[in-house]
Structures are given as C-alpha cells and as structure tokens.
Structure 1
Amino acid sequence: MAKAKTQYVCQNCGYVSPRYLGRCPNCGAWNQMIEEVATTTRPKAANQVTGQVAKPTTLAQVDIVKEPRIKTNLDELNRVLGGGVVPGSLILIGGDPGIGKSTLLLQVSGQLQDTGGRVLYVSGEESASQIKLRADRLHVGGDNLYIYPETDMSNIRQTLDEIKPDYLIIDSIQTMNEPNLSSVVGSVSQIREITAELMKIAKNKQITTFIVGHVTKEGAIAGPKILEHMVDTVLYFEGDMHHTYRILRSVKNRFGSTNEIGIFEMQSDGLQEVANPSEIFLEERLKNATGSAVVVSMEGTRPILVEVQALITPTLFGNAKRTATGLDYNRVSLIMAVLEKRANLMLQNQDAYLKATGGVKLNEPAIDLAMAVAIASSYKDMGILPTDCFVGEIGLTGEVRRVNRIEQRVAEAAKMGFKRVFIPNNNLARWEPPKDIDVIGIRTLSEALKALF
C-alpha cells in the first residue's frame, strides 16, 4: 500500500509547504504549520453554490429583486445587519471567549422562532442541558427551537433534511468536523470545506445561517482569511470583560453598510440594547476636570458622543512615554508632534496617557481636534466648558480640515444638551446650523486653542 502523501498547512493563512517551516513565508506567523494528509479531491465548481448553471447575460436583462428582511426584537442588531435578517444569508460572528456570542444568538433564536420560523441550534461546545439552563435564564423557549449538540457534518446534513429549518445556528465553526477529510478538527482545510458546505446549504435551501467563529489573540477571526470572504456578513462582538457594555460591529455586509455598530448591555437576563449610547459614554464625566474633551464620532451612520481623556505628566526617566487606549497610537504621536511644532507646547519631555472612555474604539480623522484639546487642557492644567464638544481633522501644518456628515454630528450634540461645537470652518459653507447650539468654525489648531485657553 502506498504511503499517504502529507503536507504542512499554515493555520493562519492556508499556505501549503511540502516540509515543516517554523515561520510561514506567506503571512510571517510562527509555529502555525500543521501536518495534514494531502487530498486529491478537486474543488467544487462555483455554480454548485446556487445549484444553477450560470449563463452570461447583459446587465439590462438582470432583474433586481429587493431582499426581504425579517426583523428581530433587537433594533441594534437590525441596524447592524442593514435593516434585518436576509433569508438565505450566511452571517459570521466573531469575538473573544465569554463576550456573549452564544447568548446573543440564543436570544435571536428565540425571537426568530416567535415570528413563525423554525430554528436549529447546533452546538459543538455545549450539551443540550447547558443550553437549556442558559435559555431559562434568558426566558427563551418555544416549540420551533431545536437544540442539537453535534459536530459531525454528515449528521447535521441529515438533520437539516428531516427538520427543514428556516434558520441554522452553528456554534462554533472551529468545532465542526467533515468526516470525508483526514485533517484535524479546526484546521484550515476543515474550516474551508465546512464553510463552503454551509454556504451551499444557505443559498440552495434558503436557510439563514449564523456561524460563530473563534478569534486569535490579535483579535482576528481564527482560521483562513477566505472564511471572511465566503460569508455574506462579518460581525465582530467587542467589549471589555470588566465592563457590561458590548459593541457589535459590522466589518463586511453585502446587504447593508459596513462599520455600523450596535451597543448592548450585558445583564443577568441577557443582552439589552442601549438606545442612547452617547448618554452612556458621558454619564460619569466630571464637570471641571482637566484633560477631557468630547468628540462627536461617526460609527457607520450613527453619531455618538465620546469623552477623550488625556493625562500629561513630566517624564522622570529618559524618553517620554506614550500610551493610548481605544485610540490609534500613531495618531496620538502625530497630534502631539503638531501641537509641539504649531502650538508651541513643549511635550517632548512629557509622558502622555490617552484613552477613549466606555471601552469604545475611535479611529477616524474627525477625532483629531478633541485629542489635541484634551492634551492641551491637561498640559496647561486648565479645564474647558463641559458644554463644549469638538469635531475636526488636523493636518500636519496645523490646519483644521473638513469632515463628513457634519449635520448629523451637530444635531446629535445639540440633542445631548451641548451649547457650543467647534467644527472646521470649511464645513460651514452651504449649510444652515441649528438654532439651539452655537457652531464655531475654526481654521487652525492655534485658533481653537486661543479661543479656549
């Protein structure tokens, strides 16, 4: 009998090597090469995904069919999905262990079966009794919700033919096993083939499928990158284990906008949506504190107000230290360099600690002005009015550049009771500011600091 041919596959990117390598030459990951038996099966044709033979057609002949939406009771989830659940879609949800992925999907399962749909919850990590205990705590129940602790894909396919559900939950993709493959559970080939099979099931049988994915220590979804390319929607469940708030962020959505977020609060009876996140992020802000500034940031189509805090202290040992939490470290260094060069603040011998409160992560150019004001406030030890907020991008020459969606940002600030908002002067053109808030246009960073201190 001929010896089975083996190969080494990177579990991070899927790179294949005939011999073991300590470091993957494709993605640079260390100790990720796992030995697998090489398979000679050819990949399935692309037209087998939909079950129909594709034919070339002109663009004018293509019929536009608007996707129907199934609403859940969680408006935050509906917003992130682009208006609701699309039948036959494949949705991937990733997040840290214990963040609440299974809790969210069990709640959604109960709500979907209340609408008349049949739900099959497949768990490869928990027994039926464990899921039942969580369901009782969440007050989830019904005759159309089926719990199926199984990891074998052949048994899952047989159960799908028997029950014929409208919704399928896979918790999690890394625990599923395709018996026709000789590779270990959770390997690149296993995840790739199982995801392709689930995509075929979702499109052919119009079964909306939710997949739970584990994440690596860097925060990315474990497995090959092709996993995120194959699915219709990719959602990341973020949050701090020491806080009760959770953020559901859309990073890919074929049926809606990306970078949309939904905010939830973890309580004893499950996840409760937060209707007004700006109020949550600002409720513990001190009125006369120095080093604090409020920014109106856009997360997808939603404006939220977040407090940016800065602490500037003299350096005691050698080089100055820079620390950022919830903010981009390189952006912090850039803003401090502009402050030193254009605003004459001696920051090279100062340690700087910056954070965005509430566990939210901010990474857009419009937060530059609030960061600069917070740093200057802490450096000068002078507070700013608690009714002021800031929006604007700062260039390397010290100019304040225009930002997008300024109307929504200012309207959100006015709704939260702020009296003044500092925005780029170029954003004032062809726009009528609201009457209940004072809108101040500024051209340079020095002009903003002179008006505040």
Structure 2
Amino acid sequence: MATKRKRPAYECSECGYEAVKWVGRCPECQAWGTIEERAAARGGPQFRAEPLAPATAAQPITEVDAGQAVHWPTGISEFDRVLGGGIVPGAAILLSGEPGVGKSTLLIDTASKIASLGAKVLYVSAEESVNQVRLRAERTDALHPTLYLASETDLATVLGHVDEVQPRLLIVDSVQTVASAELDALAGQPSQVREVASALIRLAKSRGLPVIIVGHVTKDGQVAGPRLLEHLVDVVAHVDGDRQTALRFVRTLKNRFGPTDEVGCFEMTGEGMREVPDPSALFISDRDGSVPGTCVTMALEGKRVLPVEIQALVVPTQAPNPRRVVNGVDAGRVAMLLAVLERRCGLSFAQHDVYVSTVGGVRLTEPAADLAIAAALASAKLESALEDRLAVFGEVSLVGDLRHVTNEKQRITEGRRLGFAGPVGPDAGRLAQALAAAIPGFAQRT
C-alpha cells in the first residue's frame, strides 16, 4: 500500500500562520511576501527534544553579578538619556527612522565619541563606501585612529571583521542591506533580516559586545522586516523629525535597561547632530506681547515639559465647504474642538476657513493640548489676543468640561520657571470659563 505523500507546508515569518500552499499575502496578519516554504510541519507526535547538558549551571538570582550590566556613557548626554544612562555591554540596540532623518550622522558621532576615549569601534556600512563615510566623519570632526570603517554586505565577512578588529562597539548600517550566503533569498527579505539580526545578537550576547543595528522603516513608520526583529533586540530607538526642519527627537519604543518615556532632543547642523539640552525656546515665537490667534501650552515630551506655541487663523469664506488645514496637531481633534466651541461657546466657524499649526515643527498628540487649540481658535475668531505670557493646558470633553491631565504640577512648575503666568488649566471647570479667564472680553462677545 502506497503511503500518502506529505504536502509541502508554508509558514508566515511575521505571525507564524500555516498554509498548505503559497499565497502572496498572509490571511492572518495581512503582510505581503512573508509566506515561506518549509520542509515539513514541526511539532508532530514523533518530535521529541533530547535533553543536553548545559554549558553553564543555573545559579540563584542573589548570586548573579549585576556589575556586568552597568551603563557606560557614549559622550552624548541626550543619547545617554534615551538609552537609560548609556550603552550596556552585550546589548543589541535597533535604531530606526525615515531616510535622511540623521541616523547615520548620529551614529558616526557616537562612534567618534567612544573612539576618542581609546576604545576600538567598528562601523560597518552596507549602504555607503568607506570614502563616503569618511567624508561625513570629516565634516562632523569624527576622525579618530581607533574608529574602523568597513563596507560589507556579507554577514560572514562582517563577522570576520569583528574577529580581526576586536572592537568594543559594533555598528551595522543597515540590517536590511546585509545578507547571509547560506540563505537563498535577497537582502531585505524577512528570512534574511531575521537571520542577520539573530547572528548579530548572538555575537553581542556571547562576547559582551554592544551592537547598534540600523533599521529601515516602512511608509507607515514601522520598522521594516519581521516583527520578530523588535522582540529580539534589547532597545528599540526611533529618530523622529520633519525633514523640512532641523529639529530631531530620539525616542525609545522598548528598553530593557531603562525607561521608555525619555526623549533626546537634537538639532541637525552642517557639523552633525548638535545636542539641545534645553529646547524651551525652540517652539515659541520670538516676539514681545501676544497677538490674536496664538496660545502657549505646556506639552509633555517624555519626562520633559516644553512650552509650545499654537497658532490659528480664521478667515471668512464663501465656499460651500470651508477648508480645515492643520500642521503639527491631529485633524480629528481640531474638528471636534470646532464642534465643541460652536455648541458650548456659541462660536460659529461654518463660514470660515480654519488653519491651525504649531511653531518649530513639533507635533502634539496628547489631549492636554485641547484647551490651547480651543483658545487659539477662539482668539483668532474674536480677533482678541490672550493675556500676555499666559500658558494653558487641559483636555476638553464633548460636553464642554475640562479634564485633568498627567503631570499637572510639573507643567505648572516649569511654566512658572520660564516666566509664564497662570497657567489656566482644568481647575477652571468649563471650557467657556477657561476662555473667559484667558481672553479679555470673551464673555461679552459670545
């Protein structure tokens, strides 16, 4: 009797979905190009894992030496703030960001700072030649004899460079452009990204060598490749910023050695990424006195409180569909605030074009900016400026109430330190009362 032939099995490299035939899009996670063939399904009743003698014996947690996981600073205080104090030996750090945002510039600066202390640093660029990297390092004054450069796309060659140089820090730019010759797939494919990242992480853990891996992002801003990549590494940092402005923020999405609510602030210059330890003056206009349509809020970026100016412009129009243009704030929140102002405060914007923007290119996503947006809109509509040096914050509900937000005391303390009066916040109770306290003559004109 002929035995039944087993059909080839396919598996999604993103979510592990199993299929009996190849499809272009995974039915489970909706990812494209992640269904890969495997020889046979695993986990059958005939599969049994044989126990092996461990190389190192398990030990009580009280006897584990915690001194080996001490941070050592990179020389860039803003980057150290994000990493939790510095780089931990054996850590795998994934740095992502959009093209041209400054990832390579930040890393070459970090490499030069560490190399200036006498430590060997190996910078492997799989996207640029060593001459291109040298030109960037020369422009940013990052030339040091202990900073080694290599331009390689083969994983085995990269590991060979590590054995030859014996660096204290390894930087690979980027993981999507390095490939292993043992896999029959192009560089950047999920299987290649997974294999390259796994090999680099094994190298980091076995030798206590910290590795910084650069990762590309998709159109949605997510790290390209399998989601397993983010689970394997210890730290996931993201460089954020508008390419039209010089300001850059570095945030941690995951950090096994420190907090994830810290933000590093940098400014892109011709000499590299310059630290901005006190960015308070970057997001407010340089002028004396207040003008209609402007309002300052105390925004929370990580653990930092920053004064951010919101500007609004309200222009009468005869168009049947008035324009709503926003920059730096959520369009849905602005639409909701316009409805609340009309229903609860008697301000109609049906025959007006509305423009709302932040100063300095910063993006506000927290609900604490609702009151400032509403105040800027009301000020622009009534053509009446707010009280001078006044900062406001608070979440606005659909019924016109003001809700408390996080870190209110910290916002008030920082506002007073910077010379702002007030501030007007959720203690006002209602939106109309807060606007009446912030805008002179508001109660008589509504």
TM-score, structure 2 normalization: 0.86
1:12-23 equivalences in 2 (<5 Å): 21=23, 23=25
Q: Pick one of 267, 276, 300 that aligns with 1:274.
A: 276
Q: Which residue of 2 aligns with 1:91?
A: 93
Q: Which residue of 2 aligns with 1:429?
A: none
Paired AA for residue 65 in structure 1: A
Does residue 1:444 correspond to 2:430, yes or no? yes
Output the CA distance in 2 between the equivalents of 1:15 and 1:142: 49
Say which SS state the counterpart of residue 109 (structure 2) adopts: helix
8 Å CA contact 1:323–1:354 kept in 2: the answer is yes
Say which SS state the counterpart of residue 358 (structure 1) adopts: coil
Paired AA for residue 189 in structure 1: S
Q: Pick one of 382, 390, 393 that aligns with 2:392.
A: 390
Q: Which residue of 1 aligns with 2:66?
A: 65
Q: Which residue of 2 aligns with 1:243?
A: 245
- CA-CA distance at 1:424 after TM superposition: 2.1
Paired AA for residue 446 in structure 1: A
Paired AA for residue 243 in structure 1: T
Paired AA for residue 128 in structure 1: V
Distance 1:35 1:423, change over 3 A: closer
- CA-CA distance at 1:119 after TM superposition: 0.8
**Unaligned stretches of 5+ in structure 1?**
44-50, 426-441
Q: Pick one of 235, 259, 262 that aligns with 1:260.
A: 262
Output the CA distance in 1 between the equivalents of 2:185 and 2:40: 13
Name which of structure 1's ranges 125-134 and 243-252 shifts more when overlaid on structure 2: 243-252
8 Å CA contact 1:9–1:188 kept in 2: the answer is no
8 Å CA contact 1:14–1:188 kept in 2: the answer is no
Q: Which residue of 1 aligns with 2:369?
A: 367
Distance 1:319 1:28, change over 3 A: farther
8 Å CA contact 2:305–2:410 kept in 1: the answer is yes
Output the CA distance in 2 between the equivalents of 1:286 and 1:351: 27
Output the CA distance in 1 between the equivalents of 2:224 and 2:299: 30
Does residue 1:155 correspond to 2:141, yes or no? no
Say which SS state the counterpart of residue 359 (structure 1) adopts: coil
Does residue 1:33 correspond to 2:33, yes or no? yes
Say which SS state the counterpart of residue 179 (structure 1) adopts: coil
Output the CA distance in 2 between the equivalents of 1:39 and 1:185: 22
Does residue 1:334 correspond to 2:336, yes or no? yes
Output the CA distance in 2 between the equivalents of 1:345 and 1:64: 65
Paired AA for residue 444 in structure 1: R
- CA-CA distance at 1:325 after TM superposition: 1.9
- CA-CA distance at 1:256 after TM superposition: 1.8
Paired AA for residue 100 in structure 2: G
Output the CA distance in 1 between the equivalents of 2:100 and 2:355: 29
- CA-CA distance at 1:407 after TM superposition: 2.5
Distance 1:137 1:350, change over 3 A: same
Larger radius of gyration: 2
Output the CA distance in 2 between the equivalents of 1:95 and 1:287: 38
Q: Which residue of 2 aligns with 1:132?
A: 134
- CA-CA distance at 1:349 after TM superposition: 4.1
Distance 1:20 1:400, change over 3 A: same
8 Å CA contact 1:294–1:370 kept in 2: the answer is yes
Q: Which residue of 2 aligns with 1:307?
A: 309
1:43-192 equivalences in 2 (<5 Å): 61=62, 63=64, 65=66, 67-192=69-194
8 Å CA contact 1:323–1:352 kept in 2: the answer is yes
Say which SS state the counterpart of residue 149 (structure 2) adopts: strand
Output the CA distance in 1 between the equivalents of 2:210 and 2:364: 32
- CA-CA distance at 1:339 after TM superposition: 1.8
Distance 1:41 1:152, change over 3 A: farther
Q: Pick one of 203, 221, 224 that aligns with 1:222.
A: 224
Identical residues among aligned pairs (%): 40
1:138-189 CA deviation, whole Å, 9 max, x = no partner? Answer: 1112222111111111111222222221101010111010111111110111
1:425-448 CA deviation, whole Å, 9 max, x = no partner? Answer: 2xxxxxxxxxxxxxxxx1111111
Name which of structure 1's ranges 332-341 and 174-183 shifts more when overlaid on structure 2: 332-341
Output the CA distance in 2 between the equivalents of 1:56 and 1:318: 74
Output the CA distance in 1 between the equivalents of 2:194 and 2:213: 13
8 Å CA contact 1:295–1:390 kept in 2: the answer is yes
Distance 1:8 1:404, change over 3 A: closer
1:289-328 equivalences in 2 (<5 Å): 289-328=291-330
Q: Pick one of 392, 417, 420 that aligns with 1:418.
A: 420
TM-score, structure 1 normalization: 0.85
8 Å CA contact 1:90–1:232 kept in 2: the answer is yes
Distance 1:117 1:283, change over 3 A: farther
Output the CA distance in 2 between the equivalents of 1:263 and 1:129: 29
Output the CA distance in 2 between the equivalents of 1:56 and 1:322: 63
Say which SS state the counterpart of residue 419 (structure 2) adopts: coil
- CA-CA distance at 1:450 after TM superposition: 1.4
- CA-CA distance at 1:311 after TM superposition: 2.1
Output the CA distance in 1 between the equivalents of 2:326 and 2:161: 49
Paired AA for residue 33 in structure 1: G
Q: Superposition RMSD on alpha carbons, in Å?
A: 2.8
8 Å CA contact 1:237–1:247 kept in 2: the answer is yes
1:42-101 CA deviation, whole Å, 9 max, x = no partner? Answer: 89xxxxxxx9668596xx757582631211232111111112222211111111211111
Output the CA distance in 2 between the equivalents of 1:361 and 1:120: 35
Q: Which residue of 1 aligns with 2:46?
A: none
Output the CA distance in 1 between the equivalents of 2:402 and 2:187: 53
Count of matched residue pairs: 422
Output the CA distance in 2 between the equivalents of 1:14 and 1:356: 43
